[in-house]
């Protein structure tokens, strides 16, 4: 039970950090875009220089009106974004953050990573199917095909570090990289 509570605490902590980093990376991107377009960018919320803009963006998105088309299957349509979000955040469960901080240290962590990353396709299909319209369904099928087509080269690129480390455990692969595996093709 103690390991379960520790994993839950680590998971919540990591999610909060990741969401905070994403919010401020978006703020930095908007500042750079503003500078390139000869405008100020996010500036007024939270002086100096708009530091509280990510918080204002979160509040704006939470308080936005929910516009759902008429003929949709509401349960599946509203559940689809959560499937994508959950599949994206579950990926952090098998990633080692340090030698001792791994939320779920399993022997087939890389296979779990690949399987969980494939679940995001289901969210896109759910949204397209639940819309009860042919164009969103065609778009969802097209997006799913694109995701599947990028997974094939991803699998081939993941095979190399797994073979060099001799393990499918993400923690063991990180430990095995005394010389970064990306340098092996360069060095020979």
* 18-77 per-position pLDDT tens digit: 888 888 888 888 888 888 887 766 666 667 777 777 888 888 888 988 888 888 888 999
Contacts of 5 (CB under 8 A, 6+ apart): none
Residues 97, 157, single domain; the answer is yes
Whether the model clears a pTM of 0.85, i.e. scores above it, the answer is no
Question: What distance, in Å, lies between the first and last C-alpha atoms of the chain?
Answer: 47
pLDDT tens by residue, 70-97 = 888 889 998 999 999 888 888 888 888 7
d(CA 144, CA 22): 24
pLDDT at position 173, please? 86
d(CA 165, CA 90): 24
Q: How many domains does the chain have?
A: 2
d(CA 177, CA 188): 16
Residues 160, 184, single domain; the answer is yes
pLDDT tens by residue, 132-176 = 889 999 999 999 899 889 888 988 888 888 888 888 888 888 888
Give the domain range for residue 19: 1-64
In 3D, which of 126, 127, 81, 109 has the Cα closest to residue 167?
109
**What residue has token string 């990573």?**
113
Residues 60, 76, single domain; the answer is no
SS3 content of the chain, % helix, strand, coil (to 5): 70, 0, 30
């Amino acid at each position: 039970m103690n390991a379960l509570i520790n994993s839950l605490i680590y998971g919540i902590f990591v999610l909060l950090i990741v969401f905070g980093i994403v919010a401020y990376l978006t703020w930095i991107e908007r500042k750079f875009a503003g500078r390139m377009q000869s405008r100020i960018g996010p500036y007024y919320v939270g002086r100096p220089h708009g530091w509280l803009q990510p918080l204002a963006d979160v509040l704006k998105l939470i308080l936005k009106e929910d516009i759902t088309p008429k003929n949709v299957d509401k349960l599946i349509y509203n559940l689809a974004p959560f499937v994508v979000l959950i599949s994206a955040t579950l990926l952090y469960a098998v990633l080692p953050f340090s030698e001792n901080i791994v939320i779920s240290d399993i022997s087939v962590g890389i296979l779990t990573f690949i399987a969980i990353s494939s679940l995001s396709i289901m969210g896109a299909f759910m949204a397209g199917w639940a819309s009860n319209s042919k164009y969103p369904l065609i778009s969802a099928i097209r997006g799913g095909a694109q995701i599947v087509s990028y997974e094939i080269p991803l699998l081939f690129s993941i095979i190399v570090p797994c073979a060099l480390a001799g393990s499918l455990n993400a923690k063991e692969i990180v430990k095995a990289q005394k010389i970064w595996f990306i340098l092996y093709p360069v060095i020979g």
